[in-house]
Amino acid sequence: MSYDLVIRNGTVVDGTGAPRVEADIAVSDGRIVEVGKVDGRAKETIDAADLIVAPGFVDPHTHYDAQICWDEVVSPSCWHGVTTVMMGNCGVGIAPCRPEARKIAAWDLVNVEAIPFDVLTEGVTWDWETFPEYMKAAESRGSGLNLGFLAPLTPFRHYVLGEESAERAASEDETRSIAALLREAMEAGAFGFTTTNVGQHVGFQGRPLACRLADRNELVVYCNVLRDIGRGTIEVALTNEVSKVDEQERKLLDMLLTESQRPVTWLALLNRDDNPKICQETLDAVSDLLERGAVPQSTCRPFIVQIDLRTPFIFANMECWNPVLNRPPEEQITILNDPSFRTAFKEALKRPLIFSARWEVATVLEVTDPSIEKYVGRTVASIAAERNSDPVDTFLDLAIEDQLRMQFNYELFNSDESRIPDLITDPRTMIGLSDGGAHVDSLCDAGYCTYLLGTWVRDNAVMSLERAVQRITTEPATLFGITERGRIAPGLAADFAIFDLATVGSDKTGFMRNDLPGGGRRLVVPARGIEYTVVNGDTLFKQGCDTGIRNGKVIRSGRA
């Protein structure tokens, strides 16, 4: 017997939670054909002795919608053993889009996902108008990874309502038109739709992201599209106060479940230093909804962000910061110097929803002015004490002294790592929330898979290897109805992450690279211990090196 690929002598962890076994795996035509003792020749052989052979990891929450136009391998997720990414989350995206609305769609991504406008202008190909055309364009370009698409409601509403989509709910006729576009996307293979309830999500010109203006009547109709088709998942950025579901948010979650009769994954559960019990209290409070298919997402890493006041996304849920968004730096500095702005900012910080103003963990990470390099590595609190100044004023003054180029590091959530195990071992949560492709200058959680395997499996024995692999393969694949990936078994797609358990891992923080279109910079986190990444039977990465093979597929839901 002759095969395209044989992986020999590996320790196979199949993604189902079953005990590991020593086995060979044979692959032909991009599919697994044998698992066990394999005899015969192969065009390619991987010796996986002393290595773990797992299904390729499935990342349920990314924002690579624009990046796939210029990055064939979809980095940095591809470095960490991820072979399938789900895009279009949080209700924001770039399809469908009329030519005259491209600038608006780009600014939505700037404001919600902190992707620089110049990068989008340089890199997005715009070789589509409708959502099915967007999927076909991705297919024609080719990809190293498998690409799964969720339909974000904002561009769908804007396609029908124009700029009024950020001002009002749709009429009955408009709602029917949007629903028809959504059905078209589902028939083309979208895996569901996404929206947001979060006040921090503002779009073009600082107005609410268009999907936030969809009223209950609209959302019911869109949910009914999934109900009638009988497939699809809804993703919603739900909570305005992190990890707490208030009464209105609970009603929204209940309605989405009831009207769609489909699973709903929602954001987010993260540990908070100011309220250590909040995650478990919320899980218990919404336990009835979890039993009906509500799935909260969390991360296994400390949530560390870099703050840049030229793109102050972290403060976008504070009304006083709206005038700062999308302005030239000189205008931003004028606003930040204004005493009335500072008073409003200090007042807003008394009721924190995202940013908790813990200045003792806000650290100066990077400066461009040599005269203030002495502050690098120091906390805002310590500098404020030295200057005998209010920490808020110190924070703003420091940024202004460096013409808003200064980078701050901030431990936002999950900073007490001793409490992460309770979150990630709870079967009611889903591990994900990587945000790959978004917030490129401030955070990078795309390495969560390797962090889970290195930190929580090997170093701390918080969960078994078999359970950890199941959490990042079968579980997200099942949630979205991805039937041919996420497990190792004959007949399924040949996606594998092959890694050394002794060395696998990634760091909490990364480093900047200037490799975005036009020389734009982004924060990346490298992987350790991923020896091979195999996508549809072809090796994409071998010991950290790109092979140049692009065999990823645009995966489609249902019969599409």
Side-chain half-sphere CA neighbours of 509 within 13 A: 12
- The pLDDT tens digits of the residues spanning 393-443 come to 999 999 999 999 998 988 888 888 999 999 999 999 999 999 999 988 777
**Residue 496 neighbours by CB distance under 10 Å:** 30
Between CA 141 and CA 143 the distance in angstroms is 7
58: β partners: 84
List, for residues 111-161, the tens digit of each pLDDT value: 888 888 999 999 999 999 999 999 999 999 999 999 999 999 999 999 999
DSSP H helices in 358-464: 380-387, 391-401, 420-424, 448-451
For the record, the structure tokens of 486 come out as 């996420």
Amino acid 438 reads A
Find the Cα–Cα–Cα–Cα dihedral 131, 93, 196, 425, rounded to 10°: 100
Q: Write out the two tokens for 180.
A: 């028809």
- List, in sequence order, the alpha helices (H) in 131-234: 131-141, 153-161, 172-187, 216-229
* Six-digit token string for 487: 């497990």
Reported residue count of the chain is 560
Where exactly are the structural domains of the chain?
Answer: 57-302+416-460, 306-413
- Residue in 51, 54, 49 with CA at minimum distance from that of residue 16: 54
What is the residue-wise DSSP string for 367-383?
-S-GGGGGGTT-BHHHH
Angle between helix 329-337 and 339-348 (nearest 10):
80
Would you give the distance in Å from CA 120 to the centre of its chain?
Answer: 18
Please report the pLDDT score of residue 560 as a whole number.
Answer: 57
Q: What is the DSSP letter of 365?
A: E
Q: Strands, E, within 416-558: which ranges?
A: 430-431, 496-499, 511-513, 522-524, 530-535, 538-542, 545-546
DSSP classification of residue 100: G
Task: Extract the tokens encoding 218.
Answer: 């609209």
Strand, coil or helix: what is 8?
strand
Say what the pTM is. Answer: 0.89
C-alpha closest to that of 445 among 304, 238, 553, 556? 304
* Torsion angles phi and psi, residue 139, rounded to 5: -65, -40
**CA 40 – CA 259 distance, rounded (Å):** 53
Question: Do 455 and 300 touch, CB atoms closer than 8 A?
Answer: yes
Residue 421 near residue 277 (C-beta atoms within 8 A): no
397's CB contacts (< 8 A; 6+ apart) are 389
Residue 318: the pLDDT is 87
DSSP 465: H
418 exposure class (CB count in 10 Å sphere: 0-12, 13-18, 19+): exposed
User: Could you tell me the mean pLDDT of each successive run of 10 residues in the chain, 560 residues long?
Assistant: 96 98 98 96 97 98 97 97 98 97 94 89 97 98 97 98 96 98 98 94 88 97 98 96 95 98 96 90 97 97 85 84 88 96 93 83 90 93 95 96 91 87 96 91 88 98 98 98 97 98 92 90 93 98 96 89
Contact 348, 318 (CB under 8 A): yes
Looking at domain 57-302+416-460, its CATH superfamily turns out to be: Metal-dependent hydrolases (3.20.20.140)
Residue 530 · residue 497 · CB < 8 Å? yes
95-122 burial: b if 16+ Cβ within 10 Å, else e: bbbeeebeebbbbbbbbbbbbbbebbee
**Residue 413: φ, ψ to 5°:** -140, 170
User: Which residue, 285, 208, 505, 124, is CA-closest to 116?
Assistant: 124
